[in-house]
Structure 1
Amino acid sequence: MTKFTISDIARIAGVSLATVSRALNNKPRISTVTRDKILEIASRNGYNPNPLARGLSRGRTNNIGLVVIDITNPFYSPIIQAVEKRAEEEGYNLLVVNSQHSSAREEKYINSLVQQRVSGIIVSPVQDPRKYLGMLKKRKIPVVFLYPPSGAKCDSVDVDNVKGAYGAVTHLIKLGHRQIAYISRGLLHRHPSSKRLLGYKKALRSSGIPFNEKFMVKTITDQGRIEEGYQATLKLLSNGVRPTAIFAFNDLIAMGCLKALKEKGLKVPDDMAVVGFDDIEFAPFLEVPLTTVRIPEYEVGEIAVKLLFERIDSGRMNGKYRKVCLSPELVIRKSCGSKNSNLIQEKE
């Protein structure tokens, strides 16, 4: 008995092979009537292909990869959720791997995903992605980067970190602060660390406030964890010149900052104002609700996976690269001392 094939389905339904493929793989851009007709023909004739075999036959599986820097950081949870939701809608599985701030691990996992024949990869890079971007293009694997260096020639989703930091520090200045410290991640040359530092300095310069090296403290590593924020704050307070406000690279560092200030008997915001960055899920529920710069993480994930599937569906590796830069917003809560707490500063 001759095996019933996808070509037979296309002939009977009077549609193209591509249309049959979209129906069988539950892809968008096909009418409900046509999809139901194709599925009925396939079911009636006992067509039930092995998904893995079908994927391998075209050199890919119905898997996509997501490489994150730190899976324990709550910042990444909404991004993962958004990517997973769209992947499931497209009939794909999501493979999430954690580079743990390690360039070596990042390369290892990207190579592993390539060997597993994923259809595409989303990467939040530890290093300059140009190091392995050429390899991915050569293997015709679509890739989208989250927060990459500005010079990377690739599809990407980013946030205006300069604007976010500038807005946060400007807000502190408007509240009367002129001695504003910045606690940054350890490696300042990395994106977005360098961009947030630029925004911090730009806000000071715009208000005629000189940059003070004693108000600039880096965490021990580039991980930006709570404990590092705690230790960095203790170091800051021992510099001999005490600030009246602290701008932290992210909310986790800001949480460590709050702990150190409390131990030193300093009240927030009466003795010291604190502002973070990211607006992770529990920022509003801290003992002193945290003023912070909100990054639309879920939207970042939605856009990244949308760009990825557009590349996968089109099969085109060349062409104009899409670079999406989202605007952050300042969420004003009690930690900064503003009377207008629980407000969101409108995007410009």
Structure 2
Amino acid sequence: MRSTINDVAKMAGVSNMSVSLAFKGSPKISGATRRRIFEVAEKLNYVPNQAARQLRTGKTDIVGFIVTDLANPFHSMMVKHAESAFNEMGLTLFSGGSNWQEKREFAFAERLIRMQARGVLICPCEKNFAAFELLDKAGIPYVALDSVPDFYRGPCVVNDLEQCGRLMAEHFHQTGARSPAYVDAAPDMLYFSAFQKTREAFCRGLEAFGMAVSGRNYAAAGMTLEAGAEAFRRMSESGFDADAVFCVNDLCALGFMNEAAKHGLRAGHDFALAGIDDMEISSLSSLSLTSVRQPYRDIARQSVQMLCALMEGKKPEPMRLMLPQELCARGTTLKRMKAL
């Protein structure tokens, strides 16, 4: 016989209403009580009748997450932690990647509207804000993540990318660098606010220490292993002379490191090297890549909380949350400092 809400409530020691609220993701139910209810429901193989609930309330248990690049470890980890947080609230996450294309971003927003999603998280591609306007018209709340242009005034949880650039400029100064290099995003992505803010803050920070990135030590390459390798090849065409290289993300930095090694140059010995994101692989002793850690877990959790408040008809405070960055100094820069 199929278990009912009465069975779950009785075994969990709560009311039927508490079980119902737990599966709706209501903040009225504590985390401990929600977990107990879900554990009992799993033991009894209880599955709430979502179709009946939707007919009764006009609401689904669906939320969406649109990211720019699902293949990027930073974005995939944010999706993972957001999904975990939503699951604790009895909500189902549908995620998709725009691949930095506004048409794909808009199309996925349309799909979520057809699915009657209750709310949407978006890492915007920033070419336009048509997807946001579409969600506004549909009355679906949303929260932007990671980075937004200065003119954006909607709810958001973002990285302090100016701090990211400043941290690395100061760290390179500490390594004794005099000829820094910067590997940027691909040329067609340089408009994106995250890359602009990081690059400009890094260059201003270098200037404060009497340094600058020369034309030969700058490459707009991209955020992949191959992009990093290509950046090294370009900088080496007339002789590689950089003593500290800052890459747009860790994947790019690892590609740069690998290509340099093929030419007999070792990161941490012949030049300092750093990236952004602090992927798990970056801390391996064989790589020991210095990186600026972006708090993807906190971004995901904070944005979920903000979106849930909006879905409850509340105004979250603050509406704009900026999270600090952390420098994770490892062998690819520390070995240079020890040699001073």
Distance in 2 (CA, whole Å) between partners of 1:264 and 1:277 is: 24
Give the conservation status (yes or no) of the 8 Å contact 1:184–1:217. yes
- Post-superposition Cα deviations, 1:111-163, rounded to whole Å, max 9, x if no partner, equal 11111110001011112463332221121101011122221121111111111
Q: State the partner residue of 2:211.
A: 209
Cα distance, 1:81–1:319 mapped onto 2, change above 3 Å: closer
Q: Which residue number in structure 1 is paired with residue 313 of structure 2?
A: 315
What value does the CA root-mean-square deviation take over the aligned residues?
3.2
Letter in 2 for 1:178: R
Aligned counterparts, 1:73-88, within 5 A: 73-88=72-87
Decide whether aligned partners of structure 1 residues 174 and 185 sit closer, same or farther in structure 2, where only a CA change above 3 A counts: same
What residue identity is the alignment partner of 1:111?
E
C-alpha contact (below 8 Å) 1:68/1:97 kept by paired residues = yes
> How far has the Cα of 1:19 moved from its partner?
8.0
**What is the TM-score of this pair, normalised by structure 1?**
0.81
**From 324, 328, 339, the counterpart of 1:327:** 324
From the CA coordinates, give the structure whose radius of gyration is larger. Answer: 1
Matches within 5 A, 1:11-160: 22=21, 25=24, 27-30=26-29, 50-128=49-127, 130-146=129-145, 147-160=147-160
Residue of structure 1 in register with 2:190 after alignment:
188
The structural deviation recorded for 1:106 is 1.3
Shift of 1:246: 0.5
Deviates more, 1:122-131 or 1:256-265: 122-131
Give distance in 2, aligned partners of 1:340 and 1:129. Answer: 44
Alpha-carbon spacing, 1:140–1:339, altered in 2? closer, same or farther (3 Å): same
Residues 59-89 of structure 1: per-residue CA shift (max 9 Å, x gap): 4310100112221221123312221112111
Structure-to-structure mapping, 1:246-261, within 5 angstroms: 246-261=245-260
Displacement after TM superposition at 1:244 (Å): 1.0
Q: Secondary structure at the match of 1:192?
A: helix
Residues 254-288 of structure 1, C-alpha deviations (whole Å, 9 max, x = no match): 01101110011112211111011110111111633
- 1:304 and 1:129 map into 2 onto residues whose CA distance is 21
SS in 2 for 1:282: helix
Q: CA deviation at 1:108?
A: 1.0
**Cα contact 1:63–1:95 (8 A) shared by 2:** yes
Q: Which residue of 2 aligns with 1:168?
A: 168
8 Å CA contact retained: 1:214, 1:236 = yes
Deviation digits for residues 287-327 of structure 1 (CA, Å, limit 9, x no counterpart): 33100100111111000111111111x225x7877111001
Moved more, 111-120 or 54-63: 54-63
Task: In structure 2, give the amino acid aligned to 1:74.
Answer: P
Kept in 2, the 8 Å contact 1:64–1:120? The answer is yes
Q: For residue 267 of structure 1, what is the aligned residue in structure 2?
A: 266
Stretch of structure 1 that moved more, 55-64 or 82-91: 55-64
Residues 1:242 and 1:120: Cα distance change in structure 2 (over 3 Å):
same
Distance 1:290 1:49, change over 3 A: closer
Q: Percent identity?
A: 26
**Structure 2 residues without counterparts, runs of 5 or longer:** 1-14, 35-46
CA distance in 2, matches of 1:305, 1:265: 47
Larger deviation, residues 176-185 vs 103-112 = 103-112
Residue 98 of structure 1: CA displacement? 1.7
Q: Which position in structure 1 is the counterpart of 2:12?
A: none
Query: Cα–Cα, structure 1 residues 72 and 309, in superposed 2: closer, same or farther, change >3 Å?
Result: same
